[in-house]
Structure 1
């Protein structure tokens, strides 16, 4: 009775599981294997090792025949089990292959949870071209980083992205709690929210709603970024902690090139990290109280003495970004400095040389 109750409880748990057929067949295989092992020992009077060895080779139809059944009852049981083995082993492999294909279809259609950890989650599929560039540029800096795309309108990822390694798709309604739980936002570095329609400025309203929902499923360890369609809608995001990005940054490169020759190449290299140098956000400790001009002079000397390649890029102070600070700008305790440097740049060591 206890064994039957165990199977009944197990069946209730797996009734709604996609792999229930496979589980049922495995359970029956184990039951038949054990039952035959016990019967063979009882009928043939052999050791437990020998009885279960006979059970395995009979059930799998291998039939080595090391010590075949000698009694009539034992032979009948052997015939019965080998016949069942042909059916059950065939069903087992067939169901296993079907289940494997089922999992592939579930993943392709976006019905599985996000397996990516310490990667990036993208809400609203931005298109094949943008996604491909984003993957290439991110992985140019972070080798093998994973991405998950969450979208309610996309049926499946385009064929050109199906073969991308560590790229996952979750299909879900943005107003559904299940969507955010399946995306595992809190276990990834950042969430990037693209507009539902990049040609419709009303999409910024949907983006704002999505950011509010994303914040409920993240903590301070996961950054939130959003792409803005219309600059006039920036006011809607003033009270959020989301980092704002204006439209397609390629436009920035084009505008710069119109103003100054070679600027487009410089900006594109900077954004794509194609030469390995990228912005590093550093937090000053020993240079607090210096002016920007003093910092520039000391950086020049320290670079020459240490052979370190880096350049001052921007100053963030009192929540305001300044890419060209005045020479007499004093660096305060709340300041954050952006430095262009290679990946192995160590600000703590460099700042020690400055002071």
Structure 2
């Protein structure tokens, strides 16, 4: 359209009139006039002198307005698409030497981010989550880059530049999703990315080893040593000290389950001991396996131990393991 208008005004105002003194005597001058008229700037330094030229100018101005509106509309639409795609986690991200956090648990994501503030401050974090909106939208991490989709989808991982990432943290409520994600990450990066996964269920341990996961952890493997330490070692670990009112000289003790409680539910045991004896059961120990606060409907089995928080006078003189958590003077 620009060239057509340029040639048109050149022919009408110069060639057909034969006026050598016309302001449109050159193609460049005609192009300048077309650009100014097309954008409706209208400097006024050049204007057609013939009736035909003025009529032609009218059509050029009208066409310019229409085309200019179309161009502005297209640019605005593309910008909105880009912004909407970024906000919805649909755009590809250009980044390297970053960390990936793949999860459907926002709380777990925040915990990982709190331990990787160096990457957060450098904006070197990419979240991958199956949600339709930013998984941490209501937190201070709402501006972090993110990709929406299943992290075991190669296309989603490519959008997150997973092949160029340094570390990937993976946890899903369904451990099979975490397993598939680790497999895809190791495949896509040829084993270069360091994968750290959390899973639930001991049967998954071998599977994560088989797919080449660098670090795989079942939280249960941490809870058990902590609880065993609480009644096999002198004193109590810090996390237990925080929940005990030490001013009243409470004790952590483990005792064989009373025959009256065998077959009763965990909730019934708590009600009986707490209301009648001032004792708070904490866990059931079965063959050195610690069940911390099991379900209310859990039935107390034979040959089990009850780990409980009780006043000092109850524990004093008992032959069972005791753990003084009172403050030393």
TM category, shorter: 0.5 to 0.7
Q: Say which structure is richer in helix.
A: 1
- Mapped contact 2:128–2:147 kept (Cα < 8 A): yes
Counterparts of residues 126-205 of structure 1 (less than 5 Å):
126-127=105-106, 129-140=107-118, 143-152=121-130, 154-158=131-135, 159-160=137-138, 164-172=142-150, 174=152, 176-195=153-172, 197=173, 203-205=174-176
| Structure 1 partner of 2:204 | 233
Q: CA deviation at 1:71?
A: 2.8
Residues 232-264 of structure 1, C-alpha deviation per residue, up to 9 Å, x if partnerless? 532222232422244499979x97998344999
Provide the alpha-carbon RMSD of the alignment.
Answer: 3.5
Q: Give the structure 2 partner of residue 92 of structure 1.
A: 71
2:48 is the alignment partner of 1:79: no
Residue 66 (structure 1) shift: 0.7
SS of residue matched to 2:138: helix
Give the TM-score taking structure 2 as reference length: 0.57
> Within 2, Cα distance between the matches of 1:230 and 1:181?
29
Deviations 1:274-310 (A, max 9, x none): xxxxxxxxxxxxxxxxxxxxxxxxxxxxxxxxxxxxx
The alignment of Structure 1 onto Structure 2 pairs a total of residues equal to 225
Q: Which residue of 1 aligns with 2:180?
A: 209
Q: Structure 1 CA distance, aligned partners of 2:120 and 2:151?
A: 30
Indicate the SS of the match to 2:197: strand
Residue 34 of structure 2: aligned partner: 55
Greater Cα shift, 209-218 or 161-170:
161-170
* Distance change (3 Å), C-alpha of 1:263 and 1:41: farther
Q: CA deviation at 1:173?
A: 6.9
Structure 1 residues 85 and 132 mapped into 2: Cα distance closer, same or farther (>3 Å)?
Answer: farther
Cα separation, partners in 2 of 1:173 and 1:143, compared to 1, 3 Å: closer
**Unmatched 5+ residue regions in structure 2?**
14-23, 243-329
CA distance in 2, matches of 1:80, 1:163: 54
Seen in structure 2, the aligned counterparts of structure 1 residues 190 and 132 have a Cα distance that, compared at 3 Å, is same
Question: 1:138 touches 1:145 (CA, 8 Å); kept in 2?
Answer: no
Counterpart contact for 1:125–1:149, Cα < 8 Å: no
* Shift in CA distance, 214/51, structure 1 to aligned 2, threshold 3 Å: same
